[in-house]
């Protein structure tokens, strides 16, 4: 995607070219998700005020004519359980946090299993492990400072602005990129392995699981015993391996 197609507002110039490009790519992904009916779930365990701020920013636009976008602040002590109950495949999880929070990592892992787009705005050292979120907007500063000096606030304000800029270019909202043909698939059945969460264990070696594809019943004899909440790798209707879950 050519991020030059998205005109950046003046504030983005203060972030540097690399940060501006990352914000543009993230905004385009959000615009496409919102255009398809997504809800944004906002999580900030360390700084719940930021989760509420992001949600209000998207759901209550201050500019006349800008659309209100569905957004909810997650405030439960168990964000995974709260997200599990309300989120759908195609939604967005937006995290504002340092990299030290295990609840954040657990929520990001489950969100991606369930088919959500994930965005992580944060600060501090070390940063996220590659692949922990679809989009990472990171500040090279101590987390305790960035959280309160306006640095993170600027980023999600610009993210909101750029998302609405994308809406002004309807052609950008259609993802013309086809499926990733480089994804590993079985030469016999053309099915790829996908991570799923066990919801309920049934008799006769089956279990109902949830993944980005939705709900399905799979065979679990190869990885038994399993329990609700376990993560498994599913291939051709069978759980073939366990996936380590973030506690």
Q: What is the pLDDT of residues 111-148, one digit of tens each?
A: 999 999 999 999 998 888 889 999 999 998 999 999 99
Query: pLDDT higher for 189 or 56?
Result: 56
Query: What digits encode the pLDDT tens for the residues 210-226?
Result: 999 999 999 999 999 99
pLDDT attached to residue 218: 96
Query: In this model, does residue 50 exceed pLDDT 90?
Result: yes
- Tally of domains in the chain: 2
Chosen domain end from 111, 144, 173 = 173
Mean pLDDT (the chain) is 87
pLDDT attached to residue 175: 66
Query: In this model, does residue 160 exceed pLDDT 90?
Result: yes
Query: In this model, does residue 203 exceed pLDDT 90?
Result: no
Has residue 139 been placed in a domain? yes
Do 30 and 149 fall into the same domain? Answer: yes
In this prediction the pTM is 0.85
Instruction: Report the Cα 150 to chain-centroid distance in Å.
Output: 23
**pLDDT confidence band for 82 (50 / 70 / 90):** very high
Has residue 180 been placed in a domain? no
In sequence order, the 6+-apart residues with CB closer than 8 A to the CB of 171 are: none
**pLDDT confidence band for 100 (50 / 70 / 90):** confident
Average pLDDT estimate for 151-171: 92
Query: In this model, does residue 48 exceed pLDDT 70?
Result: yes
Query: pLDDT higher for 40 or 172?
Result: 40
Cα distance between residue 159 and residue 141, in whole Å: 19
Do 167 and 199 fall into the same domain? Answer: no
Do 81 and 201 fall into the same domain? Answer: no
Q: Which residue has the tokens 């606030």?
A: 153
Query: In this model, does residue 36 exceed pLDDT 50?
Result: yes
Do 121 and 235 fall into the same domain? Answer: no
pLDDT attached to residue 171: 85
Of the candidates 79, 82, 57, 81, the one whose C-alpha atom is nearest the C-alpha of residue 70 is 57
Do 54 and 162 fall into the same domain? Answer: yes
- Give the structural domain span for 71: 3-173
Has residue 200 been placed in a domain? yes
Do 108 and 216 fall into the same domain? Answer: no
Query: In this model, does residue 5 exceed pLDDT 70?
Result: no
Q: What are phi and psi of 246, to 5 degrees?
A: -75, 125
Tell me the two tokens of residue 241. 């391996």
């Amino acid at each position: 995607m050519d991020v030059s197609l998205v005109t950046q507002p003046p504030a983005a110039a203060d972030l540097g070219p690399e940060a501006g490009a990352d914000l543009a790519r993230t905004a385009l992904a959000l615009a496409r998700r919102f255009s398809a009916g997504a809800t944004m779930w906002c999580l900030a365990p360390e700084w719940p005020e930021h989760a509420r701020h992001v949600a209000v920013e998207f759901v209550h636009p201050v500019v006349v004519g800008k659309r209100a976008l569905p957004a909810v602040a997650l405030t439960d002590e168990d964000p995974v359980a709260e997200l599990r109950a309300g989120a759908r495949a195609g939604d967005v999880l937006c995290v504002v946090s340092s990299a030290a929070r295990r609840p954040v990592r657990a929520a990001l892992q489950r969100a991606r299993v369930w088919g959500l787009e994930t965005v992580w705005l944060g600060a501090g050292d070390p940063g996220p492990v590659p692949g922990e979120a679809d989009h990472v907007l990171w500040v090279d500063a101590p987390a305790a400072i960035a959280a309160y000096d306006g640095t993170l606030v600027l980023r999600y304000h610009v993210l909101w602005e750029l998302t609405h800029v994308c809406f002004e270019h309807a052609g950008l909202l259609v993802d013309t990129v086809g499926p990733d043909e480089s994804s590993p698939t079985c030469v016999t059945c053309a099915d790829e392995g996908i991570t799923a969460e066990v919801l309920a264990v049934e008799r006769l070696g089956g279990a109902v699981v949830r993944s980005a594809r939705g709900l399905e019943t799979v065979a679990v004899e190869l990885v038994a015993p399993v329990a609700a909440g376990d993560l498994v790798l599913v291939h051709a209707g069978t759980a073939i391996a366990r996936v380590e879950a973030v506690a």
